[in-house]
Structure 1
Amino acid sequence: MTTPDPDLMHIDDEACRRFLSSTELIGRRWSPGIMLAIGRGAHRFSQIVANVDGLSDRMAAQRLRELEATGLVERSVVPTTPVQVRYALTQPGLELLRSLQPLAGWAHRWSELTDGAVQREAS
C-alpha cells in the first residue's frame, strides 16, 4: 500500500469538480485529435477531417461546435467567394494542448498499459 502524496492533499472538492469537468471535455472522442490537428496547422474544416483518422464530417462539426462553445477553439469566417471558415486554438486551447504533452509522453512510455486496455475493450 502506498502512502498519500502530500502534493495531492491540497486539492479541495471544488478543484476536483473543475478537474473532472475538464477531463470529461478533453476526454471526449475526437476532441484531442481535432485540437492537435489545428495546433499542427489544419485550419480549414476539410484539413481537420483529413488529419484525424476516422473522423466523420458530422462528428467533426459537432466537436468543433463544442470546443468553440467552451472557448478552446475559435471559428472565423473569411469573406471571400466562396466564404472560408477557419478554426484556430484560443490561448486557453493552446495552453491545454501544451499541458497534455506530459500525458502523451506518459502514454508513450507506458504504451503496454494503454494498448492492453484498448484491446480488452474491443473484445
Structure 2
Amino acid sequence: MPLPIPGTRVRGSATGKPIMALLDLLGRTWGLGIIWNLSEGPATFRELQQRCEKISPTLLNTRLKELKALQLVELHKEGYQLSTLGTHLFEIVLPLGDWSKQWANHLSKEVLQ
C-alpha cells in the first residue's frame, strides 16, 4: 500500500485531501497505536514492540518506515521518538482517549440496565 501523502490518491479520496491522507495513515493497523505509545517517550525497536502488545516485527518495521517517511517519527540514539509534528498530532488526538473512556463508561452503564 503506498504512503498516504496529501494530494495523492488515498483510501476514501481520489484527490488525496489532507484529512483523508491522515485518516488513511491513522487507520492502518498500529498506525495510531505507535504514535500513542511513543508519546510515553523514546523507545528502542524491542521496547516499542513490547509497548505495542508484541506487534509483529515485520508490521512494526513497516509502520515505522511509513511514520518516518511522513516525518511523524524520528530515530535518535535513544531510539524511536515522535518528531515535533508527531508530538503535535498526539496532542490533538489525546482528547479522544479521554472521550473514549467516558463513552466506554456510559456504554457499560447502559448495558447493565
TM over 0.5: yes
* Structure 1 residue 92 corresponds to structure 2 residue 85: yes
Q: What one-letter code is carried by the residue in structure 2 that aligns with 1:18?
A: P
What is the Cα deviation at residue 54 of structure 1? Answer: 4.3
Q: In 2, are the aligned partners of 1:67 and 1:73 still within 8 Å (CA)? A: yes
Q: SS in structure 2 opposite 1:88?
A: strand
Structure 2 equivalent of residue 33 of structure 1: 33
Q: In 2, are the aligned partners of 1:73 and 1:88 still within 8 Å (CA)? A: yes
Q: In 2, are the aligned partners of 1:42 and 1:51 still within 8 Å (CA)? A: no
Query: Residues of 2 paired with 1:27 and 1:99: CA distance?
Result: 16
Report how many residues are paired. 91
* Structure 1 residue 101 corresponds to structure 2 residue 71: no
Q: SS in structure 1 opposite 2:62?
A: helix
- 5 Å-filtered alignment, 1:30-109, equals 30-76=30-76, 78=77, 86-109=79-102
Any stretches of 5+ residues in structure 1 without a counterpart? 1-15, 79-84, 114-123
Deviates more, 1:60-69 or 1:19-28: 19-28
| TM-superposition CA deviations, 1:20-39 (whole Å, max 9, x none) | 11111112111222112222
Q: In 2, are the aligned partners of 1:73 and 1:93 still within 8 Å (CA)? A: yes
What is the Cα deviation at residue 42 of structure 1? Answer: 4.2
Q: What one-letter code is carried by the residue in structure 2 that aligns with 1:91?
A: T
Query: Residues of 2 paired with 1:28 and 1:103: CA distance?
Result: 17
Q: SS in structure 1 opposite 2:59?
A: helix
Query: Who wins on radius of gyration, i.e. which is larger?
Result: 1
